[in-house]
């Protein structure tokens, strides 16, 4: 129940209307009987600074941050966790003792999802589509798990090379321009772009590349599968959409705010229900 004592927190991004984070976080808050409301806030670039300042003003536990603001909030933090500093991106803001601490739970979220991928032990090479904030976490996990080669396919190769330099991964990562992504193959394919959410969108990889993979992971969270994971499964390839990662990173954000880790099933059930309403 919302009343005068209800406190707020949420996620900022642009666009943000399709975010499923409110569903899973509000389910966790309800599970613990906490009088909070988690909302999705559409925030433009010129509003970011003011919104971050409001975390202190309204004594919010924190915020989640999604595209395109994960890098923009970095200089607004008092402190950065080791992971956020390494990745150069913040997806979770935590207010602690009057300070704003920038965290990144995308790393743990993708590591969890990758661990659950079938055929994981057979995968030694990967193609990562996209060079945004989330892709940095994916790239770091792939490198830490000793993939022999990672190919980064992105629209802005200079941005990709900057990410590689930041992670000190020049010898293990190769950048491929977006329009040449159909010329490469790998064991694992990972989509870290929004592509495929709408019916008119092209897929991150066509059948020509997808059918040679041993596994496909789409960071777009859609219980039941995305258009791209459906294509992969039509070839008998293990494919995983982004629900596992979303829930895992969301649980870690909740722990950072409140010191409690919500049951996975509570968030999973809420996510499936929310996705069904949006279908």
User: Is 214 designated active site?
Assistant: no
pLDDT at 3: 58
What is the pTM for the complete model shown? 0.92
pLDDT at 264: 96
CA atoms within 13 Å, Cβ hemisphere of 208? 7
At residue 46, φ and ψ (nearest 5 deg) are -75, -5
Residue of 30, 70, 156, 260 with catalytic role: 70
Mean pLDDT within 222-246: 95
Buried b (16+ CB within 10 A) or exposed e, 58-85: eebbbbbbbbebbbbbbebbeebbebbb
pLDDT at 163: 86
pLDDT at 18: 85
161, containing H or E segment:
helix 157-166
pLDDT band at residue 170 under the 50/70/90 scheme:
low
| Closest CA relative to residue 258, chosen from 77, 95, 99 | 95
* Cα angle: 55, vertex 258, 96; to 5 degrees: 45
CA atoms within 13 Å, Cβ hemisphere of 218? 26
Q: Are 157 and 177 within 8 A, CB to CB?
A: yes
Residues 69-116: pLDDT tens digits?
A: 999 999 999 999 999 999 999 999 999 999 999 999 999 999 999 999
Mean pLDDT within 204-214: 94
pLDDT at 24: 98
Residues 116-164: pLDDT tens digits?
A: 998 788 899 999 999 887 899 999 999 999 999 999 999 999 988 988 8
């Amino acid at each position: 129940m919302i009343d005068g004592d209800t406190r707020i927190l949420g996620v900022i991004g642009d666009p943000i209307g399709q975010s499923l984070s409110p569903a899973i976080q509000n389910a966790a808050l309800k599970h613990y009987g906490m009088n909070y409301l988690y909302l999705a806030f559409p925030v433009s670039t010129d509003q970011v600074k003011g919104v971050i300042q409001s975390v202190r003003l309204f004594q919010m536990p924190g915020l989640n941050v999604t595209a395109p603001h994960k890098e923009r909030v970095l200089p607004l933090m008092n402190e950065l966790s080791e992971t956020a500093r390494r990745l150069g991106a913040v997806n979770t803001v935590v207010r602690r003792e009057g300070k704003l601490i920038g965290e990144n739970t995308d790393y743990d979220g993708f590591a969890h999802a990758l661990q659950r991928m079938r055929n994981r032990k057979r995968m030694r090479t990967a193609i990562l589509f996209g060079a945004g904030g989330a892709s940095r976490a994916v790239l770091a996990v792939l490198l830490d798990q000793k993939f022999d080669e990672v190919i980064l396919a992105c629209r802005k190769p200079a941005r990709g090379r900057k990410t590689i330099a930041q992670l000190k991964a020049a010898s293990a990562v190769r950048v491929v321009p977006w329009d040449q992504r159909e010329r490469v193959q790998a064991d694992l394919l990972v989509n870290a772009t929004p592509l495929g959410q709408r019916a008119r969108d092209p897929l991150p990889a066509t059948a020509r590349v997808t059918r040679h993979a041993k596994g496909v992971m789409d960071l777009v969270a859609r219980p039941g599968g995305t258009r791209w994971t459906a294509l992969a499964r039509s070839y008998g390839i293990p494919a995983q959409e982004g629900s596992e990662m979303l829930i895992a990173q969301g649980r870690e954000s909740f722990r950072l705010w409140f010191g409690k880790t919500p049951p996975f099933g509570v968030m999973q059930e809420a996510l499936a229900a929310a996705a069904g309403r949006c279908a």
